[in-house]
Chain A
Amino acid sequence: MVMESNWAAEHLQVIRTLMERAALYRRALAPIMIFNGVTGLAAAALGWTLKVGSPRGFILYWAGVSGVTMAGSFLLVRRQALKDSEPFWSPPTRRVIQALLPPVVAGLLISAVVLMNVRSAPADLGDAMGMFWLPLSWVVLYGCAFHAAGFFMLRGMKLFGWAFILAGCGVFALGIPDWARPLDYAHGIMGFFFGGLHLAYGVYLYFTEQRRNDA
């Protein structure tokens, strides 16, 4: 009797695992991360070289960069969907987008408010809002977005989200260093988080996915 019970329990466990697997999003993750990482690093270097140093210029510049990365990510997902003969707007894709949306919208609204107010604010406050606090808010909100989407993706995505949240809050807690110039600090933060971390995770995903496919 116990054997039948074990058999039934094992069957239920297999069903649960398969149902979880079916609901997971796993499309083009490594290419998206690598693309976003390279774009983030290049944009940080370019922004610093071009001396995009005013809060308004900084916000608009990085809004443009995020538009490029979103369009690129969309094309990469679409390309893999076409290659694998899968519907683009699959249920896991829909769930991931829905999870990403609230923090992304919050980031957009906060950026719009800062953008509208930096010009009339005193120079120091404008720099602090636009070049120090805003990039860190983006980092933390981005981490929240990835953590939420991580419930429908590989387990590592939630850790990736946590890395953004904790490191972003940590940098917030450290405060603005005396030596920091807005130009170096803001583009440095963006390059490190949106460039370096993405690239590192993308390379890790690329090799682990390849190993899994080879196995």
Chain B
Amino acid sequence: MNPEPFLQIDRVIHEKGRLAIMSMLAASPVLSFTEMRDALNMTDGNLTTHIRTLQETGYVSVTKSFQNNRPLTTCSLTAEGKKAFTSYIDLLEQIIRQNRPGQK
């Protein structure tokens, strides 16, 4: 068993809430704060905290604008975020492959 993939796991993405945010943003180029909050059943505070962490790591960019005089907050993955998410998926696949019968 090679412990290498486990050691490489990105702890920022690995947290359940942040993984959910990253997964949704990986599927849709731009999502609004409310769309993510409703889809993930998170509170405003919880979602804000996770997004801030992802933003500080450089994985997510946040844009604030106005739509018909109402504030609109949208999030998207940065290039670095996309790369980190892809690496995370690759690691999971590597772990599965490694533990298949007949694999060392």
Contact = CB atoms under 8 A, between A and B. Distances in A.
Interface stretch (A5-13, A32-40, A66-74, A117-125): A5-13
B92 interface: yes
A22 interface: yes
Interface residues of A, number: 26
Contacts of B31: 22, 90
Contacts of A178: none
Given A20-B27, A22-B25, A87-B32, A12 B74 contact: no
A2 B99 contact: yes
B35 A84 contact: yes
Contacts, number: 88
B31 to A, nearest CB: 7
Interface size on B, as a range, is: 35 or more
A23 B27 CA distance: 6
Given A12-B92, A19-B27, A85-B34, 7 more contacts: A4-B99, A8-B93, A8-B96, A21-B39, A23-B28, A86-B72, A91-B29
Interface of B: 1, 6, 19-20, 23-35, 38-40, 67-68, 70-74, 89, 92-93, 95-96, 98-100
Interface of A: 1-2, 4-5, 8-9, 11-12, 14-15, 18-23, 81-82, 84-88, 90-92
Q: Which 7 pairs across A and B sit closest by C-beta, in order of nearness? A: A5-B99, A19-B27, A18-B23, A22-B24, A22-B27, A8-B95, A8-B92
